[in-house]
Amino acid sequence: MNNVLTAAFYKFVDLPDFAGLRPDLLAACELHGVRGNILLAPEGVNGTIAGAAQGVHGVLAWLRSDPRLADLQHKEACAEANPFYRMKVRLKREIVSMGVPDVNPALMAGHYVKPEDWNRLLDDPNVVVVDVRNDYEVGIGSFDGAVNPHTRSFTELPGWVRDASAPGQPLAGKPKVAMFCTGGIRCEKSTALLRSQGFGEVYHLEGGILKYLETVPESESRWKGQCFVFDERVSVGHGLVPGDLELCRSCRHPLGDADRASPHFVRGVSCARCHDNRSDDEKRNLLERERQMTLARERNAQHLGARLAPPKVAGATES
């Protein structure tokens, strides 16, 4: 029975008082019994929360009580268990880190394209379609024909745009460009970056891949594979049904059947990508953490365990 509601939301809006919002927002989340992650920054808010439907809607109502967030949009999904262990409200310089000053998605983002109209852009030979997610996300699913920038983090995208604009490269001559990402936030910032660099016709998928998978019937869909999500569901497919991937608890990389078949895969400890990046002491600590978590599950209790900093594995994290 799916009795946990998950809501993802973001909005680019001027929030000069963002730091002062944190205590009351955290209190509202705790009052309504939700867990999740919310980022506050001068450029806006970005978060995913989960809990009982009444509690989730209570937090969303609290956010929308601020006139600047009155039109805040969100996406919902249901789950059998809460995909978050705790509630965090963090202060950041950006709600999605690109590292380029003076890029303002609230004023400069490209044209929205509804999910039901996205296939027409995919079929247009004059449009360059770019997947602005990280390489490990693209590796488990994307739209046919989309350009993969092979970035390890979103902060590498500006460099890729520069290189891809050189003669003979995909963005040479400033063509029509359509960008997409998981929920819409990264492609809003990406299209704003392109417009700041003189690209005239720039589009992005409204609501991101998640809205497309929720809206477009599978029989008409151009999506192939699964879509990585940044919570314990790991991935979703059409209809936002959770996929069959799991996270490596050491490096946070999504793992499929082939990854789990590797001799370097030890659940909770390592996978082929990070096996050589952990010391023996760290592996022992992770193995003990996994043992304790297994015991906690058997007792029907929750055990968070010690959290080690992830090793520097390409694509391990995304802010």
Partners of residue 51 on adjacent β-strands = 5
CA pair distance 9, 25, nearest whole angstrom: 14
Amino acid at 81: A
CA pair distance 118, 167, nearest whole angstrom: 28
Out of 29, 181, 271, 274, pick the active-site residue. Answer: 181
Handedness of CA 38, 78, 186, 134 (dihedral sign): positive
Take residue 158 and report the two structure tokens written for it. 């500006």
CA pair distance 169, 207, nearest whole angstrom: 28
The DSSP annotation for 10-63 comes to EEE---TTHHHHHHHHHHHHHHTT-EEEEEEETTEEEEEEEE-HHHHHHHHHHH
Vertex 266: Cα angle to 290 and 305 (nearest 5): 20
Q: Is 248 a catalytic residue?
A: no
Query: Distance from CA of residue 189 to its chain's centroid?
Result: 14
Residues present in the chain in total: 319
Take residue 293 and report the two structure tokens written for it. 């978590």
CA pair distance 233, 38, nearest whole angstrom: 17
Helix, strand, or coil (residue 120): helix
Give the CA distances from residue 36 to residues 50, 186, 227, in Å, rounded to whole numbers and listed in that order.
6, 19, 19
CA pair distance 250, 103, nearest whole angstrom: 34
Q: Which residues are catalytic?
A: 181
